[in-house]
Structure 1
Amino acid sequence: MRSMTGYAYCDSIVHNTDISCELKSYNSRFLDLTINVPQSMAQLEPFLRKFLTRHIIRGKVDFYLRIKKTYENQAITPNISLARSYYRSVSEIARSLGMEDQVSLDLILRQEGILQMDRTFNADQWQQDLQPILDLIIEHFNRTRIEEGKALKADMQKMLTTLSQAIEEIETNAAQMEAIFSATLKKRFAELLEHEPDEQRVMQEIAVLLVKYTINEEIIRAKAHINALQKEITENETPGRKIDFLCQEINREVNTIGSKNQLTAIGQAVIAAKDALENIREQAHNVE
């Protein structure tokens, strides 16, 4: 089990260039992946996206590849026409604000694309050289998610024990519910038999009481879902979505039991079960 929250950072040198790679993620229902690379390296984005989607199932994921320093002597070409366009637009804004004297050369030079490095970008070579760096950062990233996942798993197991105990308490008191049902049924028969019995009316009353008080089916289904939930938590490496679904199914059965309840003990067990389920569902939102 892995948390959707993770972080990893790595510095390296590729082709005489100091780079840094940063990978971070947090909770999201689906995989929401954002790739941030310098404009000159835009060709790497499909390669990076394919690599990350192969290793991450879901979460809001941000990946950054930054150039920190280059050690090569490279020709730098100014884009004069783009600089003029920037200057005209910035000057127009400045005049409208009464700040025309504040349009500096430094401001124009800081705009993207004004100064361009003349070099051929070998995407295939960069992909090959980035591979071991990406393998390292995903290893560190998964390590942080696994560590947090252990804490989430322990908390879920604790809540699952509480949930199982609540269902066992309900099952223990189900016989008493049956006794209340029998007593109510006998009383209703006695009331009906004071006068000429109506067989159809008697059958209708029996059907209504059976639906109203019997909870055996709900208990059986709830226990089956709990077993499936236990299996997901212990065996599935990415159980997040399945946990949420099973919790919904268990909650449906618990709600039905609560609506049929006639005993204080079962009512308390229903409350405990719903509280445990809510905690498990909350934690499932943090699990991949």
Structure 2
Amino acid sequence: MLKSMTGFGNATIETESLSVTAEVKTLNSKFLDIYCRLPRQFADKEIELRSLLTQQLERGKVEVSVNVSRTNAVRPGVVINRPLVAAYVSDLKETANSMLMSIPDTDVLQLALQQPNAYLTDTPETTADTNEYATVRAAVEEAIRRCDDFRRQDGAVLEHKFQEYIQIISDRLDAIEEHDVRRIPAVRDRLRNSVRELLESESFDQNRFEQELVYYVEKFDISEEKVRLKNHLGYFLEVLSTEEANGKKLNFISQEIGREINTIGSKANDATIQRFVVQMKDELEKIKEQTMNVI
């Protein structure tokens, strides 16, 4: 079954403390190219997530985005250094008492809060516990699954398109075989006339004549090419229907199809067959273009 390299999947998982949204987008690429955008507290999990993406998505340009928001128990980014502030308050009060001054407690606290290092920059989101990462991973896995489903659906559409293109090429091959039955007598007549002229010539060379005759017979005969082309078309459909179908293999087969089509066009030396060849090449280009979008 074919899978396209173009896909999209997203998933949102909520717990008592977290809401995690993961998005996975994939585009065409010759190789696997992963770009991750993760919250800071999960930066150390990027390698693990990359491994997961590599196993599941195989090939393509992959963009992963994870957004995390807390649903409760939000902690401030800056907190008061209580032990130090308490020491400042005690020292300020002792200083005021030693100077026989009376300062309201609110003013003392305000002064203490203005002292150096009275505040600490808390970083509760720089690290994450195991349960939080499990939620993130579950969201990413679900987004990957949905992206993969998208790829399979798109791959089914591509498979149908490939079947249509191959059928058109097969129909043109049938038309060539039908026309070739009439082409051969025409070629034979041309050769017969050429032979008659040679026989009437005083410089007729029997050996050269036999060589030329063999050359032209081989040059105009496209029987082998027709057989090989038909086999390649059948093999393409056979590979298309297997679980191992992939873009690289289908592209290789399409190259072999192209060689046979080109040889038929060059050897036939017939205007009608050339028109059929042009039509087959047009469908083959569509196949080659679409195989670039298959994993």
Taking structure 1 as the reference length, the TM-score comes to 0.76
Match of 1:191 in 2: 197
Match of 1:47 in 2: 48
Partners of 1:286 and 1:158 lie apart in 2 by 17
Q: Find the partner of 2:231 among 224, 228, 234.
A: 224
Distance 1:214-1:77 versus aligned 2 partners, 3 A rule: farther
Which has the larger Rg?
Answer: 2
Taking structure 2 as the reference length, the TM-score comes to 0.75
Q: 1:3 is paired with a residue of what secondary structure?
A: coil
**Ranges in structure 2 where 5+ consecutive residues have no aligned partner:** 80-120
Kindly provide the CA deviation profile for residues 132-191 of structure 1, in whole angstroms up to 9, marking residues without a partner as x: 333322221122222222222222211211111111111222233332332233233323
Q: Which letter does structure 2 place at the counterpart of 1:64?
A: S
Post-superposition shift, 1:65? 1.5
The reply on whether 1:257 has 2:264 as its aligned counterpart is: yes
> CA contact under 8 A between 1:159 and 1:279: conserved in structure 2?
yes
> CA contact under 8 A between 1:251 and 1:277: conserved in structure 2?
yes
> CA contact under 8 A between 1:177 and 1:262: conserved in structure 2?
no
Farther off after superposition, 244-253 or 174-183? 174-183
Distance 1:229-1:182 versus aligned 2 partners, 3 A rule: same
Residue identity (%): 29
Match of 2:176 in 1: 170
Distance 1:137-1:119 versus aligned 2 partners, 3 A rule: closer
Q: Find the partner of 1:273 among 271, 276, 280.
A: 280
> CA contact under 8 A between 1:181 and 1:209: conserved in structure 2?
no
The reply on whether 1:157 has 2:141 as its aligned counterpart is: no
Q: Which letter does structure 2 place at the counterpart of 1:250?
A: I
Aligned pairs for 1:1-288 within 5 A: 1-13=2-14, 16-69=17-70, 71-74=72-75, 76=77, 117-118=123-124, 121=127, 128-194=134-200, 195=202, 197-236=204-243, 238-288=245-295
Partners of 2:61 and 2:204 lie apart in 1 by 67
Partners of 1:218 and 1:77 lie apart in 2 by 78
> CA contact under 8 A between 1:47 and 1:127: conserved in structure 2?
no
Kindly provide the CA deviation profile for residues 265-285 of structure 1, in whole angstroms up to 9, marking residues without a partner as x: 322321221121122222222
Q: Which letter does structure 2 place at the counterpart of 1:209?
A: Y
Post-superposition shift, 1:208? 2.9
Q: Which letter does structure 1 place at the counterpart of 2:123?
A: M
> CA contact under 8 A between 1:34 and 1:61: conserved in structure 2?
yes
> CA contact under 8 A between 1:14 and 1:126: conserved in structure 2?
no
CA RMSD of aligned residues (A): 2.7
Match of 2:111 in 1: none
Partners of 2:215 and 2:258 lie apart in 1 by 23
Kindly provide the CA deviation profile for residues 189-208 of structure 1, in whole angstroms up to 9, marking residues without a partner as x: 32332235424312331243
Post-superposition shift, 1:74? 4.4
**Ranges in structure 1 where 5+ consecutive residues have no aligned partner:** 79-114
> CA contact under 8 A between 2:33 and 2:62: conserved in structure 1?
yes
Q: 1:117 is paired with a residue of what secondary structure?
A: coil
Q: 1:121 is paired with a residue of what secondary structure?
A: coil
> CA contact under 8 A between 2:221 and 2:268: conserved in structure 1?
no
Post-superposition shift, 1:24? 0.7
Farther off after superposition, 193-202 or 225-234? 193-202
> CA contact under 8 A between 2:27 and 2:61: conserved in structure 1?
yes
